[in-house]
Each structure stands twice: as structure tokens, then as C-alpha cells.
């Protein structure tokens, strides 16, 4: 890998004829599900913009704030004492009407009325789909910062919030392990991640789960039963199975039903749910947010847009949103195999 390579070289500039555009006023928003580290990312964007003598305003409640012009002026002080807090002080929202072209046209109109030159959009795939369309349809310059606990965005090894969510799940499961062991019980723990298996797999590896279920893994209920039975023969009387909420077919309670029906195994179910979305961001997520936030502003200053900041082999790079949205990221196959080997 060439360390001197310009991480922005392959992106579209947004000024015609290659002239760097002048970005004087940026709007920043957080959209979709919140993720620990979003506040740290906003802080980095705000302070980096101010450093470059740009004006910066927050748009509250994601794209809803853009549509309704819910503007929050921001200065260095307004992002003080936030770095360590979960959630997003700019608030967030899911705005399904943003799928409609006429709603995006209204948003672009609002962008111009607010005299913004660019948007920094912090969120996940839904956020970036909206951002990419704002650029394609209305030439609104956008830069994305990936922040979702699901880690399901192509083009970056980690999204902001993923590491924190995994740590939260690991702490919870370590506690469950104590009670499972004391009572010699079988537990099924359901983690978030929508239809992607990153939280399930990484949490499972970190907790030594006996089996990990998610949509891209081939593990079957029969294999899990075999695994548990083999353990019982060796005197291992408690087990933890982890399942991703979006696993098809069925969620944790369906899995428990199947274990009961097929093998008479009693399982306790624990759904971790939104506990994984809250809490202080990990140190890793804070640093990732700082680096991505600063790079997003740098990218805009240099006249680039329609890109997502990415973390690749320790470097912050930029990947075009076209690339990000055209691919589905899957958990690495070797991790799945490793989890199976280590839990056997």
C-alpha cells in the first residue's frame, strides 16, 4: 500500500472545471439510529470547521431539521463536555418521506435558503442513500461519516458506535454467563444489527459463545443441538447461544421453541435491544470519530464530495457513496470459522 497516496484522489470534485469550491458554511446532522460516538463526531466536525474559518450550524432531528429549518448555531463551546456522552445532542430521526423525490427537492430548496455550501451527514446506509440522492439530483455537496452500531457499511472496516455496542453486549453476556453457569442453564441472547451479523459475530467471539446465529452463517439448529449435547457429555452444563435480531428464519424466541421441540432443551431468552445503542462511546469510537470528523471537513475544504469517510487498515480514507451503496458488507468468513473452532 502506498502510504503517500492521496486518500481523496478518486473522488469527484464538486466544482466544475476542477476549481476547488469555496465552502464557507457547513450544516451538520445526525440521522437514523443513534450510535455512541456521534457526539464526538459532531465535536470534531465543528472544531475542525472553525479551525478552517468556516461557519457551522447543526440541523436538528436529521433530515427533518433540514426540511423544517431547525437550525442550531454551533461554536467551539457548544460542543464542550460532549465527547464522552452517548446519543446525539443534535437529536436524530428516521424520515421515511425522504424516499420521495419531491421531499428531497424541498430539502435542497431549504439547503439553499439556509445559505449552506455543504452538508456533513452522520449516520448509516439510509442517511447516505438520502445524501447521495441530494448530490445526484440537486448538486447539494455532501460528505458522510459512518456512524451505526450495525457496522454494515461497505468501504470501512468499522463504523462509529460498533465497538461501543459490542463492548456493551460483551459486558452483559459476561454477567449472563455467571448466572447461566450457576444454574447450569442454556441461554439465547439476541443482539441488534438488523439483518447484518457483525455485532453477533464479534460479541460471540469475545464471549466464547457456543453458537452464533446470523443471516450469513450456515449454522443450523441441529448443529447447535449436537454442540450442546457434546458439551453435556463432557460435563459442560451451561451454554450461551447468540443470535442476531434479523436472522432468518425467526428470532430468539423461535430459536428457543425449536430447541424445545427438537431436543427438549429449555432455554432462557435475553434480548439486549436498545441497551446496545446507549452509553459512553469506547475510546476506539471516540478516536475514530475525531479522525473522521476532521477528515470530512478537510475533504470539503479541498472541494470533494459525495463520499463517505472510511477507516481502512488504520488510515482514514474517502470512498465514493456510489461504491458504498452498491455493495453489501458481510462478516469475514474466517471469523465465522474461528468462532466455530474455538467454541468446539
By CB under 6 A, name the binding residues for ligand F6P. 33, 94, 124, 148-150, 192-194, 245, 277
CB of 41 to ligand F6P, least distance (A): 16
CB contact at 8 A, 2 and 32 = no
Q: 117, 150, 152, 285: which one is catalytic? A: 150
Taking Cα atoms as reference points, which of 142, 145, 146 lies closest to residue 306? Answer: 142
DSSP-derived 3-state class of residue 27: strand
Give the pairing of strands 307-312 and 142-146.
parallel
CB of 180 to ligand F6P, least distance (A): 24
CB of 82 to ligand F6P, least distance (A): 21
Q: Which is nearer to ligand F6P, 90 or 228 (CB)?
A: 90
Q: Which is nearer to ligand F6P, 154 or 225 (CB)?
A: 154
B/e letters for 311-335, b = 16+ CB within 10 Å, e = fewer, are beeeebbbbbbeebbeeebbbeeeb
Work out the angle at residue 197's Cα, subtended by the Cα atoms of residues 89 and 143, and round it to the nearest 5 degrees: 40
DSSP-derived 3-state class of residue 62: coil
CB of 146 to ligand F6P, least distance (A): 12
- Would you call 181 a catalytic residue per the annotation? no
Please count the helices (runs of H) and the strands (runs of E) in the chain.
11, 11
CB of 306 to ligand F6P, least distance (A): 22
Q: Which is nearer to ligand F6P, 305 or 324 (CB)?
A: 324
Taking Cα atoms as reference points, which of 332, 337, 306, 223 lies closest to residue 21? Answer: 306
User: What strands lie across the sheet with 211-213, from one edge to the other?
Assistant: 211-213, 239-244, 186-191, 267-271
Q: Which is nearer to ligand F6P, 74 or 321 (CB)?
A: 321
DSSP-derived 3-state class of residue 307: strand
Q: Which residues are catalytic?
A: 150
Amino acid at each position: 500500500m502506498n502510504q503517500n497516496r492521496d486518500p481523496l484522489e478518486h473522488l469527484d470534485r464538486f466544482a466544475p472545471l476542477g476549481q476547488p469550491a469555496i465552502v464557507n458554511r457547513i450544516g451538520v446532522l445526525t440521522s437514523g439510529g443513534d450510535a455512541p460516538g456521534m457526539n464526538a463526531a459532531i465535536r470534531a466536525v465543528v472544531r475542525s470547521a472553525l479551525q478552517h474559518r468556516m461557519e457551522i450550524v447543526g440541523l436538528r432531528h436529521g433530515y427533518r431539521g433540514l426540511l423544517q429549518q431547525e437550525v442550531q448555531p454551533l461554536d467551539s463551546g457548544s460542543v464542550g463536555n460532549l465527547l464522552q456522552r452517548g446519543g446525539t445532542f443534535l437529536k436524530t430521526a428516521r424520515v421515511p418521506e425522504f424516499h420521495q423525490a419531491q421531499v428531497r427537492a424541498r430539502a435542497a430548496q431549504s439547503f439553499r435558503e439556509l445559505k449552506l455550501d455543504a452538508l456533513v451527514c452522520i449516520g448509516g446506509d439510509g442517511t447516505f442513500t438520502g445524501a447521495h440522492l441530494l448530490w445526484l439530483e440537486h448538486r447539494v455537496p455532501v460528505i458522510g461519516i459512518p456512524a451505526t452500531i450495525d457496522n454494515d457499511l461497505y468501504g470501512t472496516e468499522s463504523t462509529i458506535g460498533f465497538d461501543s455496542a459490542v463492548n456493551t453486549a460483551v459486558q452483559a453476556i459476561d454477567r449472563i454467563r455467571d448466572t447461566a453457569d450457576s444454574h447450569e442453564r442454556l441461554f439465547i441472547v439476541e443482539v441488534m444489527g438488523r439483518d447484518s451479523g457483525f455485532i453477533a459475530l464479534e460479541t460471540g467471539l469475545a464471549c466464547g459463545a457456543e453458537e452464533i446465529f446470523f443471516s450469513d452463517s450456515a449454522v443450523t439448529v441441529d448443529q447447535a443441538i449436537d454442540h450442546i449435547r457434546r458439551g453435556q457429555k463432557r460435563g459442560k452444563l451451561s451454554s450461551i447461544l447468540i443470535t442476531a435480531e434479523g436472522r432468518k428464519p425467526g428470532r430468539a424466541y423461535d430459536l428457543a421453541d425449536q430447541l424445545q421441540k427438537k431436543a427438549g432443551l429449555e432455554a432462557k431468552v435475553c434480548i439486549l435491544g436498545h441497551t446496545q445503542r446507549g452509553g459512553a462511546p469506547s475510546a476506539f469510537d471516540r478516536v475514530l470519530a475525531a479522525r473522521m470528523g476532521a477528515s470530512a471537513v478537510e475533504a470539503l475544504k479541498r472541494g470533494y464530495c459525495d463520499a463517505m469517510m472510511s477507516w481502512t487498515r488504520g488510515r482514514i480514507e474517502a470512498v465514493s457513496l456510489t461504491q458504498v451503496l452498491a455493495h453489501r458488507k458481510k462478516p469475514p468468513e474466517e471469523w465465522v470459522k474461528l468462532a466455530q473452532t474455538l467454541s468446539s
